[in-house]
């Protein structure tokens, strides 16, 4: 009954078609093949598939833990290993190569290469104009990105730290999210806003913000959070190709994760969640860094005889209720593990959403583990305890499964 409210069986509806119709621009369009990978392994095509390219793409969107290789049933090459920030850069570089309208702007993104080196080397390759160093005014360079996007470019705006993008809230909320709507569809804003956020290692309260909770209400934007090199690259590419404004949340502590990713080109879906570990006792929903705390807790739980299903929700706006719903129907118990603060976080919205749609399938109230409603303290021990730890996750699952 609750399921009928949702979209029907099949893949999640994409919020944007991957289509380049920049008739206002004088630069030539370059059409390329791209296949969007769905979680169930099926492929949907974005553009025409050209036969001569012969690209073999990975059909398996399930990322393994960082020690294991990504299995790819149709790949012929072994893939290559890299760190998450390098994966982001690789995705960015591929898109810049593919489409001359793609450009980057932000503080220190040019020759400095970005505060987390995501844009390293790009200024040398593409020039100072396409990888633009801006003065320190977040609201203004975000506004600049919006103006550029409305005139046909596809900018990627980098916030040095997500927290600084609070200064850009006006542009993001009032213009980025709105102008496509208020102009009656006349102007589109294919912008990507990205940057590192989350609680780091003693970065202080102002540099430990979780902006996804503040931005989630803004109509017109999409939000995704990456957590592995594989999904970082795939989501970066998808975000750039999307005609909607997308906010890509990276985490300060995940930039040095290593993983082997496919050599072939791949793009992930912006609206899909990722099943990290199948199970049947409880559905654990998480994203970004908390995925690793959950997986660590999962090891302990497996030893204790539990079988948790772990889903990295990835898409923070909109939620992939299709994947989440299927899991809830199977396990009937939900635990949400997030880094947001208790009040008004992603977990709060997710709890409400699941209750609304899957109430009948739940055998127990949804449990949500979040950070406390406090600014993140500088002291290391205190900081550690504002973030959900694996031990708490294990305890919560045990409690839930009683």
Partner 1 sequence: MYIHKRRSNKEIIGGSITKRRKIDGRNQNEHCEATENRVACYRVLDDHGYPIAGTTFDQVDEETAVRMYKSMASLEIMDSIFYEAQRQGRVSFYLTSTGEEGISVATAAALSPHDIILPQYREAGILLWRGFTIQDFANQCFGNEDDHGKGRQMPVHYGSNHLNFFTVSSPIATQLPQAAGVAYSLKMDGKDACAVAFTGDGATSEGDFHAAMNFAAVMEAPVLFICRNNGWAISTPISQQFRSDGVVVKGQAYGIRSIRVDGNDALAVYNAIRAAREMVVREQKPVLVEALTYRVGHHSTSDDSTKYRSLKEIEEWRRSRNPVTRFRKWVESKCWWSDEEEAQLRGTLRKQVLKAIQIAEKIKKPCLEDLFSDVYEQVPSNLRQQEKSLRQTINKHPQDFPSDVPLH
Residues designated as active site: 138, 207
Interaction between residue 44 and partner 1 (CB under 8 A): no
| Closest separation in Å from C-beta 392 to partner 1 | 31
Binding flag, residue 355, partner 1 (CB under 8 A): no
Min dist CB 160 to partner 1, Å, is: 16
Query: For partner 1, which residue of 21, 186, 303, 402 counts as binding (CB under 8 A)?
Result: 186
Binding region for partner 1 (CB under 8 A) out of 12-20, 64-72, 83-91, 299-307:
12-20
In the chain, the N- to C-terminal Cα span, in Å, equals 27
Beta carbon nearer to partner 1, 132 or 340: 132
Contacts of 97 (CB under 8 A, 6+ apart): none
Question: Is there binding between residue 349 and partner 1 (CB under 8 A)?
Answer: no
Which one among 75, 139, 296, 300 touches partner 1, defined by CB under 8 A?
139
Nearest to 171 by CA among 131, 221, 208: 221
- Alpha-carbon distance of 49 to 54, in angstroms, equals 9
Q: CB 107: neighbour CB atoms within 10 A?
A: 20
- In whole angstroms, give the CA distance from residue 61 to residue 231: 8
Three-class DSSP category at 335: strand
Question: Could you give the CA distance from residue 99 to residue 81 in angstroms, rounded to a whole number?
Answer: 25
Q: Closest CB to partner 1 among 115 and 244?
A: 244
Cis bond leading into 318, ω under 30°?
yes
The nearest distance, CB 102 to partner 1, in angstroms, is 11
22: contact with partner 1 by CB under 8 A:
no
The rounded distance, in Å, linking the Cα atoms of 75 and 67 is: 19
To partner 1, the closest distance from the beta carbon of 37 in angstroms equals 19
Note the maximum CA span of the chain.
64
70, 86, 89, 180: which one binds partner 1 (CB under 8 A) = 180
* Number of residues in the chain: 402
Which CB atom, from 44 or from 399, has the smaller least distance to partner 1? 44
Pick from 102, 104, 179, 257: which binds partner 1 (CB under 8 A)? 179
Chain-centroid distance of CA 281 in Å reads 26
Residues that bind partner 1 in the complex, under the rule CB under 8 A: 5-7, 12-17, 25-27, 103, 129-130, 132, 134-135, 137, 139-153, 155, 170-171, 174-175, 178-188, 219-220, 222, 242-244, 271, 318, 321
């Amino acid at each position: 009954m609750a399921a009928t409210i949702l979209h029907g069986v099949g893949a999640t509806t994409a919020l944007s078609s991957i289509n380049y119709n920049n008739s206002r621009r004088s630069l030539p369009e370059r059409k390329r093949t791209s296949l969007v990978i769905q979680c169930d392994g099926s492929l949907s095509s974005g553009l025409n598939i050209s036969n001569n390219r012969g690209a073999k793409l990975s059909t398996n969107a399930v990322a393994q833990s960082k020690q294991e290789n990504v299995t790819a049933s149709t790949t012929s090459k072994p893939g290559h290993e890299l760190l998450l920030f390098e994966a982001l850069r690789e995705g960015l570089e591929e898109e810049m190569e593919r489409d001359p309208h793609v450009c980057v702007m932000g503080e220190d993104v040019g020759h400095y290469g970005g505060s987390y080196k995501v844009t390293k080397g790009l200024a040398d390759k593409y020039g100072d104009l396409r990888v633009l160093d801006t003065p320190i005014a977040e609201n203004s360079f975000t506004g600049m990105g919006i103006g550029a996007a409305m005139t046909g470019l596809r900018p990627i705006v980098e916030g040095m730290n997500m927290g600084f993008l609070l200064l850009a809230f006006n542009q993001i909320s009032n213009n980025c999210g709105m102008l496509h709507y208020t102009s009656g569809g006349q102007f589109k804003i294919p912008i990507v806003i990205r940057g590192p956020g989350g609680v780091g290692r003693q970065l202080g309260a102002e540099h430990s913000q979780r902006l996804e909770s503040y931005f989630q209400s803004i109509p017109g934007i999409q939000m995704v959070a990456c957590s592995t090199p594989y999904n970082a690259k795939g989501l970066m590419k998808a975000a750039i190709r999307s005609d909607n404004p997308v906010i890509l949340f990276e985490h300060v502590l995940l930039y040095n994760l290593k993983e082997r990713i496919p050599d072939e080109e791949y793009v992930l879906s912006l609206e899909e969640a990722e099943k990290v570990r199948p199970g049947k006792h409880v559905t654990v929903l998480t994203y970004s860094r908390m995925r690793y705390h959950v997986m660590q807790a999962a090891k302990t739980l497996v030893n204790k005889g539990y079988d948790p299903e772990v889903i990295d929700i990835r898409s923070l706006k909109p939620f992939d209720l299709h994947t989440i719903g299927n899991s809830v129907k199977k396990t009937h118990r939900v635990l949400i593990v997030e880094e947001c603060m208790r009040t008004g976080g992603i977990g709060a919205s997710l709890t409400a959403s699941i209750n609304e749609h899957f109430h009948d399938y739940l055998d127990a109230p949804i449990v949500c583990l979040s950070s406390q409603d406090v600014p993140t303290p500088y002291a290391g021990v205190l900081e550690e305890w504002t973030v959900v730890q694996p031990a708490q996750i294990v305890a919560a699952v045990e409690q839930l499964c009683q």
